[in-house]
Amino acid sequence: MAGIGFQLRRLASSGTFTGTMGAYATAAAISAGPWIISIVALMFLTWLLDRVLPGDEIRLFSSAVTHVYAFALIFTGPIQIILTRYTADQVSLHRPQNIYPAFRGGVILTTVFTAVGGGVFFLRMVPAPDGFGVYAAALLVLVACVFVAGVFLSALQKYEGIVVSFAIGYGVGVWASWKLAQQHGVAGAMAGLVMGHALLFLLLTICIRWELGAGKGPTFGFVPMFFKLPSLALCGLFYNLGIWVDKFMFWWVSQTSVQVKGALYAAPDYDLAIYLSLLSIAPGMAVFILQVETAFAERFHAYFEAVNEGRSLHQILHAKNLLLISLREGFVRLLKVQGVTTLILVVFAHELTHWFQVSFVQVGIFRITLFGAFLLVVFLAMLTVLFYFNDRRGAMLCSGVFLVANAVLSGVTLMQNEAWYGFGFVTSAGLALFIATNRVNHRLEDLEYYTFQVTD
């Protein structure tokens, strides 16, 4: 699934400054996807809406959008990872005709379940102006479908169309939201965002359909994998729920939380700080797709090609050594880039956050959670390696530890004062990374055993 990474690596290796910067910028945009881009768009849109909407409606709008992305990520976590595995299997089996039908099936399932869930939550549990709940539920459906489409984007070659799609979709969404808010209030703002995401999903679907073709395979051929590989689906659920569980606890348990409207809650001090820190992962995600996953994928397939073709022991061990080198170099570069980014932001946190007019408490939380974002990027890279080695149980264990630790430790910090906020997220990410690193090292040390003896 690192197809787009190969194209970006060719661009980065062109030797020109613009080519290199363009490759990394594109990789950051594609790998970070709508989750990171939406944070920037929402911040900018909130600034625009501050001139046309009252404060309580802006809080309703931003809280609803935040809940939409939280629910979309958690719901699509299992289906994204199952679709990724199914698509990779179809590529390996030389059955490309099954890929686009799987995309279609994933979108259908996602639409049905998110429409029901979104309708119940936003229409029954959130009292809001007429039309707002309908638009919020529609936004949940569209955002979830965009996440499903993201699974297939990494297999495409024409990265330019993907970047243009995101730019147009979010650009139209911000503009339409601002314009409609002037005439129809907060419901109009949500309707405009729905328009932008609908356009984004349409453009991404065109990109996928253009490259993969219509296909003639089964629409729901991936569904049996939920029962065949439940640990894989649970990993997707645990990981995404782990990312959000600390936010839920700050919304629902914290003494500093604010009830926005009905079931919508917010934790102003914590929310803005951690969302700003999550923006810092963009450089690390770019390195991840260009160096870790793509380079490692090449060496990984070369190693198993040597095994499957029955080459000599010397050639197999040489391929393994190249695999280890690529993995080591990729992680060293990831640690350098994300580490430098984190340190710069920590040092200049006060100056940067001054632009957003945040409080002293938020600056402290921002500095703390920057380290959590750093650990989260490396943890994601380690999880990817575990998936390559088919260590599904290990990946599920690491994701489960991340979820439980984040819930428990965030609960502990809530019993303390604001100085401890964010340490639960940082510690849980570090613990999960430690376990994942040990699992990866164990797999690498006994790679020959797992290659020839274990059939999991």
Same-domain status, 222 and 289? no
In a domain, residue 26? The reply is: yes
Within-domain flag for 43? yes
Kindly state whether residues 217 and 342 are assigned to the same domain. Answer: no
Domain ranges, residue 399:
275-294+335-452
The structure's pTM equals 0.90
- Do 179 and 289 belong to one domain? no
Q: With b meaning 16 or more CB within 10 Å and e meaning fewer, what string describes 19-33?
A: eeebbbebbbbbbbb
Last residue of a domain, one of 172, 203, 228: 228
Which amino acid, residue 323? Answer: L
Residue 214 lies inside a defined structural domain of this protein = yes
In a domain? residue 151: yes
Q: Which residues of the chain have pLDDT under 50?
A: 1-2, 4-6
Please indicate, yes or no, whether residues 18 and 138 belong to a single structural domain of this protein. Answer: yes
The per-residue pLDDT for range 373-421, each reduced to its tens digit, is 999 999 999 998 999 888 999 999 999 999 999 999 999 999 888 888 9
Q: Which of 228, 263, 285 is the last residue of a domain?
A: 228
Residue 344 lies in a domain: yes
Q: Is residue 242 part of a domain?
A: no
Q: How many domains does the chain have?
A: 2
State residue 1's pLDDT score: 46
Are both 77 and 169 inside the same structural domain?
yes
108 within some domain? yes
214 and 349 part of one domain? no
Domain co-membership, 181 together with 287? no
Are 283 and 177 contained in the same domain?
no
pLDDT (tens digit per residue) in 45-91: 888 898 899 989 999 999 999 999 999 999 999 999 999 899 888 88
Is residue 169 domain-shared with residue 286, that is, in the same domain? no
Question: Do 288 and 425 fall into the same domain?
Answer: yes
- Other C-beta atoms closer than 10 Å to the C-beta of 127 total 12
Q: What's the pLDDT score for residue 246?
A: 94
CA distances from 274 to 105, 257, 268, 269, 294 (A): 34, 15, 10, 9, 29
In a domain, 306, yes or no: no
Cβ-contact 372, 431 below 8 angstroms: no
